[in-house]
Amino acid sequence: MQNPVMILPGVALAVLITLVGFQSTKWIALVLDLEKSPISAIMMAILLGVLVKNTIGVHRDLQPGVSFGLKKLLRLGIILMGIRLSIFEVLKIGALSTVIIIVCIASGIFLVLFVTKKLALPERLGILIGVGTGICGASAIVATGPAIKAKEEEIAYAVGIITIFGIAAMFFYPYLSHLVLSLSHVESGIFMGTSIHETAQVAGAGIMYDHLWIGADSTINPTGADVAIVTKLVRNAFLAVVIPLMAYIYIRRKKEESKKTISVFSLFPAFILGFIALAVFRSVGDFAIVNKNLLWNSEGWSFFCSLIKQWAGYFLAVAMAGVGLGTDIKKLKQLGVKPFLAGLCAALSVGIMSFVLIKIFASFLAAI
């Protein structure tokens, strides 16, 4: 367990950046004489974090807290997001998005393997970029690396590539899905959930989308962020299937014996279970209200759910500031052109495939 004294300074910095980000959007709206800022508070928090990281820097004493916010608070925020949906809505979104997720994962991996071969890049690098694009970014890369005996520089390159395109998609896709592709909030959520790399980036993009296009409209349920996060969590669950499979294929093709055993249970992201547990809890509470259970009244239950939603938003916002504080532009500049092209092809293939499949299954997705 981490020492609270060590993590407090970094968390405080992320909180401060988040507060400045929220206030900045209010100033922008006031200066432009608009009802709502065209830049979301989450985007501003990330940009401010990037600015701090790449100008004055982040002292090593602040790193434990920044890392805590990016990892632990992000997961806690996502778990608490489960209170926004009933378990039936979660299962419906998951079931309707699974086919799109599987096709996007497969297309991302196989296309990037083809491209890396044409560019004469190491096959291991192609696998790492492929699983990072198709499943869950750096987590998938770090989990896959030892299984295929990847070199440290190959893992670092793959993480850098995924970071570049994931952050670009996080900023761009909320606008792309609504203004250019004219997708509904459900379709936008699935598009972001299937085509943006990291869980943190999907959460950030989803919240930006809600701030920009849904706002305080309480009649929309599930929101774009809800759909995006559920879709991403389903996608994350494939980590436990795809990584052992890719490791087996690679080892068999290379006729190598791996001394490392891959535990499926260790790969499964545990916070998915927390999200589902909160959705079940929400369903039980709603059922009790409908059946006039005396344990609580509707006003008290609504207040409790709203409070949990609010804190979920706070935790996710601080985690997004951590995303900015962890983005070192100098390191990203050191990547070569060929890995960059491989990452670009992977990102484009997943995004295009997601959009095409969403249009094909549009009538089914309307049921969400």
Whether residue 244 has pLDDT greater than 90: no
For the chain, the distance separating the N- and C-terminal CA atoms, rounded to the nearest angstrom, is 40
Over range 32-57, report the average pLDDT.
Answer: 85
Over range 224-247, report the average pLDDT.
Answer: 88
Q: How much is the pLDDT for 186?
A: 95
Distance of CA 203 to the CA centre of its chain: 5
Distance in angstroms (rounded) separating the CA atoms of residues 59 and 50 = 14
pLDDT digits (tens, 9 = 90+) for 221-230: 899 999 999 9
Distance in angstroms (rounded) separating the CA atoms of residues 206 and 211 = 9
Q: How much is the pLDDT for 289?
A: 79
Distance of CA 187 to the CA centre of its chain: 16
Confirm if 354 and 202 have CB atoms less than 8 A apart. Answer: no
Over range 260-281, report the average pLDDT.
Answer: 77
Distance in angstroms (rounded) separating the CA atoms of residues 180 and 160 = 28
Whether residue 259 has pLDDT greater than 70: no
Confirm if 200 and 162 have CB atoms less than 8 A apart. Answer: no
Which of the four pLDDT bands, split at 50, 70 and 90, describes residue 1?
low
Over range 100-107, report the average pLDDT.
Answer: 92
Whether residue 257 has pLDDT greater than 70: no
Tokens read off for 262: 């891959």
Confirm if 344 and 165 have CB atoms less than 8 A apart. Answer: yes
Over range 245-271, report the average pLDDT.
Answer: 66
Domain that holds residue 25: 4-365
Q: Alpha carbon of 8 to those of 22, 102, 114, 311, 322: distances in Å?
A: 21, 40, 46, 18, 13
Cβ-based neighbours of 180, under 8 Å, separated by 6 or more = none
Over range 93-105, report the average pLDDT.
Answer: 92
Neighbours of 9 (CB within 10 A): 16
What's the chain's average pLDDT? 86
Backbone angles phi, psi at 160, to 5 degrees: -60, -45
Task: Return the higher-pLDDT residue of 176 and 35.
Answer: 176
Which of the four pLDDT bands, split at 50, 70 and 90, describes residue 298?
confident
Whether residue 263 has pLDDT greater than 70: no
Whether residue 255 has pLDDT greater than 70: no
Q: How much is the pLDDT for 39?
A: 80
Nearest Cα neighbor of 281 from 82, 56, 75 is 82
Amino acid at 343: G
Distance in angstroms (rounded) separating the CA atoms of residues 351 and 353 = 6
Whether residue 6 has pLDDT greater than 70: yes
Tokens read off for 298: 């509707």
Into how many domains does the chain fold? 1
Distance in angstroms (rounded) separating the CA atoms of residues 41 and 20 = 9
Over range 300-304, report the average pLDDT.
Answer: 87
Q: What is the DSSP string of 203-270?
A: HHHHHHHIIIIITT-TT--S-HHHHHHHHHHHHHHTHHHHHHHHHHHHHHHHT--------HHHHS-T
Whether residue 294 has pLDDT greater than 60: no
